[in-house]
Structure 1
């Protein structure tokens, strides 16, 4: 590859491949440059540091989670159904990542642990999507909550066991889906308008 056609996306693609091969502890900017057949200085023109490259990789990975969820949040459907669909999708995305490539999932989890600001922005984005759904539910009369943002954060936090990577070891245990169904009924009871 010539340095003239080097883009941030190409660098991120190469970084993902190198991370898959060597893991986050052993991956260097030089390794990424070598994979692209460019100088490491070329990488630094796009990403000023290894940490910036790591954060961009984490952001790209987390965007693959948040983008399909944003599409659900923006749908024109009753809020309770959309909220359930959103969480079902989040849980399915996370489980699929663990099952399809557990080593890569572990690698990205380690990267995300080091990219605190990126993860905080990701969680903020997810809670904002949930807030949008809950606000819609309040407008349509399905939900009765005083503070949609606080309610969205509470629902997100209450469900962490089912989608946060630290709990990935529990996701395939028998009864996990039943546990989520029980929690979901409780959460909906707290959000729903009572007759």
Structure 2
């Protein structure tokens, strides 16, 4: 049986495992190659540098929620419900990542700090999804006339406590759900026609 072909996806999976095991300060491309049973040159053929590999891992981590959230943004139904569902799904995804694999979450926080352009692309994608929801609400007369991207950025900023990893320690507090609902209510009231 021939070995599995070396793909970017396999390299990224192995990199996550290596980062989980050694952390970002000690993990090397050689460690990733060793985990895959290949030479480090083989890894470099897919990712030109350690920085490129780390950026790809960060992007993959941030992109994991994009598809689910995009489906919610584009779903049928009232914009208020879609907005609430979208914000709740984002919050749930962030909490799962923080609580389900704390070692990897901590590693990603380091990587996110190193890869601001990757984070900026992620935020732009999230704001674009919010803008689609808001634009739909405006078109249906459910939301008052607003510039969708500006309003989406305001919603992103207002809900920051529930998706910015800097607040991860608060996400398991007993009153966090009440605080989340209060912010959602305030945001929706501000958008209503």
Indicate whether the TM-score tops 0.5.
yes
Equivalent in the alignment of 2:135 = 135
Structure 2: how far apart are the matches of 1:139 and 1:25?
49
Structure 1 position 2, deviation (Å): 7.7
Shift of the alpha carbon at 1:145?
3.2
Partner of 1:185: 185
CA contact (8 A) 1:2 1:38 kept: no
The Cα offsets for residues 164-187 of structure 1, whole Å up to 9 and x where unpaired, read as: 100001111121111122222221
Q: Given that residues 16 and 104 in structure 2 are in contact (C-alpha distance below 8 angstroms), is that contact kept between their aligned partners in structure 1?
A: no
Deviation of 1:190 (Å): 1.0
4-13 vs 68-77, which moves further:
4-13
For 2:85, the equivalent position in structure 1 comes to 85
For residues 89 and 96 of structure 1, the distance between their equivalents in structure 2, rounded to whole angstroms, comes to 10
Q: Distance in 2 between matches of 1:105 and 1:150?
A: 30
Distance 1:66 1:138 in 2: 23
Aligned pairs (5 A) from 1:137-152: 137-152=137-152
Instruction: Give every structure 1 segment of 4 or more consecutive aligned residues whose post-TM-superposition deviation is greater than 3 Å.
Output: 1-4
Shift of 1:139: 0.6
* 1:51-130 superposed matches below 5 A: 51-130=51-130
Aligned ranges for residues 39-54 of structure 1 at < 5 Å?
Answer: 39-54=39-54
**Does the CA contact (< 8 Å) of 1:145 and 1:151 recur in 2?**
no
Q: How many residues align?
A: 193
- Secondary structure at the residue paired with 1:141? coil
The TM-score normalised by the length of structure 1 is 0.94
Unaligned ranges ≥5, structure 2: none
Q: Distance in 2 between matches of 1:184 and 1:109?
A: 26
Q: Distance in 1 between matches of 2:103 and 2:11?
A: 21
Question: Aligned-pair distance for 1:89?
Answer: 0.4
